[in-house]
Structure 1
Amino acid sequence: MTAVPAPITAEQIEFAPYGEFESDCPARMGVDVFGNSWLPVVVYMLRDGPMRPSDLRAAIGGISQKMLTQTLRRMQRMTLIDRHRYAEAPPRVEYELTEAGRDLLIPIYALGDWVDKHGRAVGAGRMGPEPDDD
């Protein structure tokens, strides 16, 4: 099993200067990666090593074959996973995280920590009455 990295605090991170809200700001790409609800789930499921698509789909639950295929293709284009096709009968395909994909586990674990700390309050707030607009 892979060791879980220690959480990184905001004070430990130094970013290259970009103009505020620039269209080419690298943070937009990060938001886009997490904007796809299935991509972080697939990264997390691949954390222990290569998996076949059918095993991924069974482990994830709730994802359609079409959405899994689209997510895997997108991740491959983004160089987050490698696709390995084995010349067997029947052919076997496995997907494995690249270094960039493994590095995504850091913010995924951090998000999990945040949910552990604040998930109930945020969830309860989402179900409560809308705040008044002053």
Structure 2
Amino acid sequence: MHTVPDLRAHGGADAFLRNCASRAVLDLLTNKWVCLVVGALRPGTMRFGELRRRLDGVTQKMLTQTLRDLERAGLVHRAVYPSVPPRVEYSLTPLGQNVAGLMDAIRVWSEEHIDDIRTAQEAYDTKAGEELQPV
């Protein structure tokens, strides 16, 4: 059996350990809306209304919270321009651009394999719905 060493003593992180701070990053990145916001911002700067229209189904509250979380984590830059009404634009920081490729790959994989996943789910549900047969 292979045991992975605890890398924290050497300055590393190990998300498999319950107290590792990297779990907070995983929590952030595994949020559906985070993945979609990062993907929407990958091509370039967008205003709040543009993001909301692009992300079908997101509420104003959820989009606001997601953008705040991403800004706090250093993945999104929020620029406010003095005008009436104030103009606010969002863009990915270099760190956000860095993770955007991973998020985009997950989205693309999801789109490409949705039929496989649905087929597997239907097969599972059918099998689970059958009565146990004596051997």
TM-score, normalized by length of structure 2? 0.73
Aligned length: 118
- From 91, 94, 98, the equivalent of 2:89 is 94
| Residue 105, structure 1, aligned to residue 97, structure 2 | no
Return 5+ residue gaps in structure 1 as ranges: 1-15
Match of 2:37 in 1: 42
| Cα pair distance change 1:95/1:116, threshold 3 Å | closer
| Residue 129, structure 1, aligned to residue 96, structure 2 | no
Cα deviations by residue, 1:70-121 (Å, 9 ceiling, x for unpaired): 1011111111101100011221000110011111122123224533554322
Return 5+ residue gaps in structure 2 as ranges: 1-5, 8-12, 129-135
Structure number with greater CO (CA < 8 Å, separation at least 6) is 1
Give the number of the structure whose alpha-carbon radius of gyration is greater.
Answer: 2
| Cα pair distance change 1:88/1:20, threshold 3 Å | closer
Query: If each structure's helix is expressed as a fraction of its own residues, which one has the higher value?
Result: 2
| Cα pair distance change 1:123/1:31, threshold 3 Å | farther
TM-score, normalized by length of structure 1? 0.73
CA RMSD in angstroms comes to 2.6
* Counterpart mapping for 1:54-69 below 5 A: 54-69=49-64
